[in-house]
Chains A and B, each alone.
Chain A
Amino acid sequence: MNSEDLPELAADIVRRAQAAGAGDAECTISEGDEFSANVRMREVESLKEAGSRGAGLRILIGKHTGSSYTSDLSSEGIERLVKQAVELADVTTEDPHAGLPETDELGSISGDLELYSADVARLGTQLKIETAKRAEDAALGADPRISNSEGASFDTHTGRHIFANSRGFAGAYATSYCALGVSPVAREGDSMERDYWYTMARGYAGLEPAEQVGRIAAERALRRLHAVKVETQKVPVVFEPRTARSLLDNLFEAVHGMSIYRHESFLAGKLGEKIASENVTVVDDATIPGLFGTSPFDDEGVPSRRTVVIEKGVLKSYLLNCYAARKLGLKTTGNASRGLTGNAGIGHGNFFLEQGDQTQEQIIRSVRNGLFVTELLGFGVNIVTGDYSRGAAGLWIRNGELAFAVSEVTIAGNLKDILPGLETIGCDLEFRGAVAAPTLKIGEMTVGGR
């Protein structure tokens, strides 16, 4: 089956499900082609190339749901897909809040969202390998202490996403991206450290120069050498954009509509309250052209939009799909997200903290004694309670300057205090993924060490 026929297949699957007894049905089809080249120590290490596709179906019979998926798009495979979903509606419980979006909630935003760049599919294998080699070479050549490498990779992906439902929605869009990353290893004496840097864009032209990626990766690995463990103490902590972003990941989980209705988030019931410092504004916006969290419609067929989540420290909105919205007596924010099948979950668009006016340098200069975090380890964040405790590595700030490398420490606090404790916001917001934050300074956290 050709790609052009997939929207018709999705509509057909919906019709077949209805014919088999479903009151409502929604079908997702996705297909994609991936390519990946890895080089290590200036030699090709691996090449991978393939394409795949699959279809998912979710149906409702009354208020009972059933779902299924398959990678077999033959007529026999589709027949089984429909039969399996219908069969499962028998074993689920009636759920008064289950259902598709209302017809007037469905739709898609128009205009070119710049999600697909035709050059990605045309890139030659040699160019991809050479680009990865140039990045690794720049890292290896940056300093004699960069004597080893975990390699460099160049990845591309092109895909199509198709969605149709029984309320008349039909939509499709194509996406592409390419990414270049490099992980050099720095060594001096007994100290060995690795770091990485990468660039990612919808098209090849949007990538940062390979040599620059390699040099930054090398600098990052080098500055970690001879790291020490510091004394346990309470100090200001500065997150560089790469680690600050993870605080936004935590915040996303805390405003996730499913966690809210279950009271599984420390932000449940806090709408309209001040939960962060005055200088914090957090936005989810899936409409910004070219970015990685952008799409014309969400995974229930609701148009993408911009939602202000926190405005000047006040919690303004949760992120919702139709189900969570119904549970909370609110309207969907167009944040439905799912893989091929199952009930829709909740995802983010481009989820970011608006930038402030201080440079990273100014922020570091404002700290007499504190930690500049460049790497976080582990999953020690409890969204139910807000308890935050993660492994960290970075650089110690002494009298406003980066003084020496630190590792094998923890940073801990509670998000209920960390968000109001956001003293300073950097002016260096940039999108290296769908979630982004500028440099952030927290007034005080516990650094656990010796």
Chain B
Amino acid sequence: MEFSESIFAARFQITRQDLERYVAEALSHGGDYADLYFEYLETSSISLDESIVKSATQGVSMGVGVRVIAGERTGYAYSDDLAPEKIRKAARVAAYIAAGPGKPGKYGLHEGVKHDLYPVLVSPTETAFADRVTLVKRADLAARAYDPRIFQVQAVYADNLRHVLVATSDSVLTLDRQPLARLSVSALARQNGGPPQRGHAGGGGRVELGFFLQEKTPEHFATEAAREAIVMLDAVEAPAGEMTVVLGPGWPGILLHEAVGHGLEADFNRKGVSAFSGRIGQKVASELCTVVDDGTINSRRGSLNVDDEGHPTQRNVLIENGVLRGYLQDKLSSTLMHSNSTGSGRRESYAHIPMPRMTNTFLLAGESDPEDIIRSVAKGLYCVNFGGGQVDITSGNFVFSASESYLIEDGKLSRPVRNATLIGNGPEALKYVSMVGNDLRLDEGIGVCGKEGQSVPVGVGIPTLKIDRLTVGGTA
């Protein structure tokens, strides 16, 4: 897309010269670097409950964030009004961080390099609402049809289309159009008047609406949610204490996100507050483990053509055969650490300062047959689905909560168990990985990662993994 065709030029009459002037204004008190992040975001969501489409919402928000970096200091201001005087005011406010003479100079902008990972012609946000409403109605019918014990279904479909423009004092001008859609289904089951159990499933990506009609249909997610709710009706108390844990492929990759991903974000390491600080080159996992963060996978929820600092995303090897290789870098940390951006600078919106974040984080496939992995466990836990997780960066302790898991007894799966949190320590946990399956799978596109109050979409993935020692937080 050419700048002149962008929404910012066409609808808001912003010119290249304007952008150059704003950048110059931001550096009017000195500073090493400045950037502008323009965002125009259209969102819609539809929610169904009790077989009734109870809510449909659409809206638009827009704004520009101006950042100035001077050494280790960052000045930031934003405006939700794209009028020139408002943008210039934001630029002047951000400029206060630097206390010096202005940096004269021209910031002739030229268009930067980027991928084309989501060539979506018509974004879901631009389709007829009636077509999108059909998705939640189909999900409701399918979940109820799965089993008569399903008595409540909620389905939420949400999409957005984000237009972004990044202009930097490094002379880079980048535009991107980022579609994103997600369908989630939650089902409640009950039998013989007993207590209810819940199942949940969902997914999506940077896709066209056709994704939900051909690839992952409402019936797929609905059946999955209903199945989990029904399975949990027979769940017994979860065990407590250290044991062997086998993680199923896909979404259980949230383990990596919490155990190593956050700890490898460069801001924490630059400040020396991460449990991984200063450990590059050290062994932090078993040699069966190679972990990458890859923002360049087509159509994935965590992928981006360029990060939110206008830098192309890339495939970053974090751990290679058990050895810590690198951090996730943004502009500020990479400059201060004399390194390069890894295309990991992300932000929730124009109102937020970018920082190093993950994209799609996964562990490469190994050679074991998943069935052999389960057969090898005399007594343990097999976890296939999870809720959220969290990590304490400094101590390295992390948790993630299993929503569907089974006891393993004598190499066979037995009873499902109730929800339990798993806890471990980041630089230690992966050292106990003793088998890696040949079945790498990425999650279905549902992840949201929160850091310092900012939420961004991410993906995770693993093949089936056997961890010889992890603490399970049940009651039995």
Contact with B along A20-55 (1 / 0, CB 8 A): 000000000000000000001001111111111110
Q: Are B238 and A389 in contact (CB under 8 A)?
A: yes
Q: Is B409 an interface residue (CB 8 A)?
A: no
**Distance in angstroms between the alpha carbons of A341 and B47 in the assembled complex:** 13
Given A47-B97, A410-B473, answer yes or no on A98-B188 (Cβ-Cβ < 8 Å).
Answer: no
Q: Any chain B CB within 8 A of the CB of A365?
A: no
Q: How far is the CB of A55 from chain B (nearest CB, A)?
A: 10
What distance in Å separates the Cβ of B445 from its nearest Cβ neighbour in chain A? 20
Partner of B395, one of A95, A393, A414: A393
- Distance between A240 CB and nearest chain B CB, rounded to angstroms: 17
Please determine whether B61 and A448 come into contact, CB atoms closer than 8 angstroms: no
Contacting residues, chain B, for A40 (C-beta < 8 A): 271
Q: Are A263 and B394 in contact (CB under 8 A)?
A: no
User: Closest approach, in angstroms, between the C-beta of A382 and any C-beta of chain B?
Assistant: 5
Residues of B within 8 A of A67 (CB): 55-58
For A98, list chain B residues within 8 Å (CB).
54
Say which one of A83-91, A170-178, A245-253, A290-298 lies at the interface with B.
A83-91
Tell whether, in the assembled complex, residue B73 and residue A43 are in contact, meaning their CB atoms are under 8 Å apart: yes
Q: Is the CB of A389 within 8 A of B198?
A: no
A232 touches B240 (CB 8 A): yes
Cβ-based interface call for B298 (8 A): no
Do most interface residues of chain A lie in helix, strand or loop, or is the interface mixed? Answer: strand
Contact A47 B63 (CB under 8 A): no
Q: Does B434 contact A (CB under 8 A)?
A: no
Most interface-central of B391, B423, B474 (chain A CB within 10 A)? B423
Q: Is the beta-carbon distance between A379 and B56 smaller than 8 angstroms?
A: no
In the bound assembly, the distance between CA atoms of A229 and B395 in angstroms comes to 13
- A169 interfacial contact with B, CB 8 Å: no
The answer to whether the Cβ of B151 comes within 8 Å of any Cβ in the partner chain is yes
Q: Which of B57, B97, B196, B421 contacts A390 (CB 8 A)?
A: B421
Contact A92 B56 (CB under 8 A): yes
Judge whether B273 and A91 touch: CB under 8 Å: no
Q: Which residues of B contact A45 (CB under 8 A)?
A: 72-74
- For B57, B197, B471, which residue has the most chain A Cβ atoms within 10 angstroms? B57
- In contact, B62 and A71 (Cβ under 8 angstroms): yes
Selected contact of B474 from candidates A81, A384, A412, CB within 8 Å: A412
Nearest residue in B to A224 (C-beta to C-beta)? B395
Closest to A88 in B: B56
Asked whether any CB of chain A lies closer than 8 Å to the CB of B420, the reply is: yes
Complex interface residues of chain B between 38 and 75 (CB less than 8 A to chain A): 45-46, 49-63, 72-75
Stretch from B77-85, B358-366, B377-385 at the A interface: B77-85
Mark each residue of chain A from 76 to 119: 1 if its CB lies under 8 Å from any CB of chain B, else 0.
Answer: 01001100100110111111001000000000000000000000
Interface positions of B from 66 to 117, Cβ below 8 Å from A: 72-80, 90, 93, 96-97
Q: A234 — nearest CB in chain B belongs to which residue?
A: B475
Q: B78 → chain A, closest Cβ, in Å?
A: 4
* Per-residue contact bits, chain B 340-370, to A (CB 8 Å; 1 contact, 0 not): 0000000000010100000000000000000
Asked if A278 is at the interface (CB within 8 A of a chain B CB), the reply is no
Q: At the interface, yes or no: B441 with Cβ under 8 Å from chain A?
A: no
Whether A387 contacts B271 by the Cβ 8 Å rule is: no
> Which residues of the other chain, B, contact A90 by a CB distance below 8 angstroms?
129
B259–chain A nearest beta-carbon distance, Å: 12
Q: Which residue of A lies closest to B277 (CB)?
A: A192
Q: Are B388 and A379 in contact (CB under 8 A)?
A: yes
Distance in Å: Cβ of A283 to nearest Cβ of chain B: 28
Residues of A contacting B272 in the complex (Cβ-Cβ under 8 angstroms): 148, 185
Residues of B within 8 A of A382 (CB): 198, 403, 418-419
Judge whether A194 and B395 touch: CB under 8 Å.
Answer: yes
Q: Would B421 and A150 count as touching, CB distance under 8 A?
A: no
Does B203 have its Cβ within 8 Å of any Cβ on chain A? Answer: no
B54 pairs with A343, CB closer than 8 A: yes
On whether the beta carbons of B53 and A263 are closer than 8 Å, the reply is no
Q: In the complex the two chains form, is A450's CB within 8 Å of B242's CB? A: yes
Chain B residues in 8 Å Cβ range of A71: 60-63, 80
If A54-B80, A389-B420 touch, does A65 touch B242 (CB 8 Å cutoff)?
A: no
Interface: A279 (CB within 8 A): no
Q: A342–B256 Cα gap in the complex (Å)? A: 35
Name the one of A95, A194, A377 contacting B54, with C-beta atoms under 8 angstroms: A95
User: Is the C-beta of B397 less than 8 angstroms from some C-beta in chain A?
Assistant: yes
- Taken together as a complex, chains A and B put the C-alpha atoms of A263 and B389 apart, in Å, by 26
Roughly how many angstroms separate A407 CA and B394 CA in the complex, as a whole number?
12
Q: Which residues of B contact A43 (CB under 8 A)?
A: 72-73
User: Is there a chain A Cβ closer than 8 Å to B424's Cβ?
Assistant: yes
A350 within 8 A of B: no
Contact between chains at A377 and B390 (CB < 8 Å)? yes
| Interchain nearest-CB distance for A189 vs B (Å) | 14
Assembly CA distance A56 to B58 (angstroms): 10
Q: Is A193 on the interface with B (CB-CB < 8 A)?
A: yes
Q: How far is the CA of A434 from the CA of B154 in the complex (A)?
A: 29
Q: Does A212 touch B at the CB level, under 8 Å?
A: no
CB distance from A99 to the nearest CB of B (A): 12
Hey, which chain A residues are within 8 Å of B474, CB to CB? 389, 412, 446, 448
Q: Is A12 an interface residue (CB 8 A)?
A: no
Q: Across the interface, name the chain A residue whose C-beta is closest to B393.
A: A194
Cβ of B152 < 8 Å from any Cβ of A?
yes
Contact status A192-B394, CB under 8 Å: yes
**Chain B residues whose C-beta falls within 8 Å of the C-beta of A262 in the assembled complex:** 49-50, 152, 154, 188
Contacts of B433 in A (CB 8 A): none
Using CB atoms, name the residue of chain A closest to B242: A450
In the bound complex, how far is the Cα of B46 from the Cα of A155, in angstroms? 35
- Which residues of chain B are within 8 angstroms of A84 by Cβ–Cβ distance? 58-59
In this complex, the member of A45, A379, A414 whose beta carbon has the largest number of chain B beta carbons within 10 angstroms is A379
Known contacts A49-B77, A52-B78, A193 near B419 by CB under 8 Å: no
A47, A375, A409: the one contacting B96 at CB < 8 Å is A47
Task: Check if B275 is an interface residue, CB within 8 A of chain A.
Answer: yes
B271: which A residues are within 8 A, CB to CB?
40, 148, 150
Return the contact of A448 from the options B46, B97, B197, B472 (Cβ within 8 A): B472
**Which of the residues A95, A193, A391 comes within 8 Å of B421, measured between beta carbons?**
A391
Shortest CB distance B201–A (Å): 16
B178 at the interface (CB under 8 A from A): no
Q: How far is the CB of A74 from chain B (nearest CB, A)?
A: 9
Q: In the docked arrangement, what's the CA distance between A264 and B189, Å?
A: 10
Contacts of A379 in B (CB 8 A): 387-390, 401
With A377-B390, A378-B421 already in contact, the answer to whether A385 and B195 are too (CB < 8 A) is yes
**Set of chain A residues within 8 Å of B133, measured between Cβ atoms:** 91
CB distance from B48 to the nearest CB of A (A): 8
Determine whether the beta carbon of A49 is less than 8 Å from that of B240: no
Please tell me which one of the listed residues B54, B90, B151, B403 contacts residue A50 in the complex, with CB atoms under 8 A apart.
Answer: B90
- Asked if A389 meets B421 with Cβ closer than 8 Å, knowing A194-B273, A384-B196, the reply is yes
Is B392 in the interface zone, CB < 8 Å from A? yes
* Beta-carbon contact of A65 and B399 below 8 Å: no
Does the CB pair B401–A377 fall under 8 Å? Answer: no
**Interface membership of chain A positions 361-399, coded 1 if the CB is closer than 8 angstroms to chain B and 0 otherwise:** 000000000000001011110101101011101000000
Q: What are the 10 A-B residue pairs with the smallest beta carbon separation, nearest first?
A: A410-B473, A69-B59, A391-B399, A378-B399, A380-B421, A232-B241, A194-B394, A380-B401, A46-B74, A88-B56
Question: Chain B residues in contact with chain A, CB under 8 A?
Answer: 45-46, 49-63, 72-80, 90, 93, 96-97, 129-130, 133, 151-152, 154, 188, 190, 195-198, 238, 240-242, 271-273, 275, 351, 353, 387-395, 397-401, 403, 418-421, 423-425, 471-475
Query: Could you list 12 further interchain pairs (A-B, Cβ under 8 angstroms) beyond the known A98-B54, A387-B418?
Result: A46-B75, A91-B53, A94-B52, A193-B395, A194-B273, A194-B394, A375-B392, A377-B392, A378-B389, A389-B421, A410-B423, A448-B474
User: Can you list 25 A-B pairs, Cβ within 8 angstroms, ordered by A?
Assistant: A50-B78, A53-B80, A56-B59, A65-B54, A67-B56, A71-B61, A88-B56, A92-B53, A92-B56, A148-B273, A264-B196, A341-B59, A377-B392, A378-B388, A378-B399, A378-B401, A378-B421, A379-B387, A380-B401, A385-B419, A389-B474, A410-B421, A446-B240, A448-B240, A449-B471
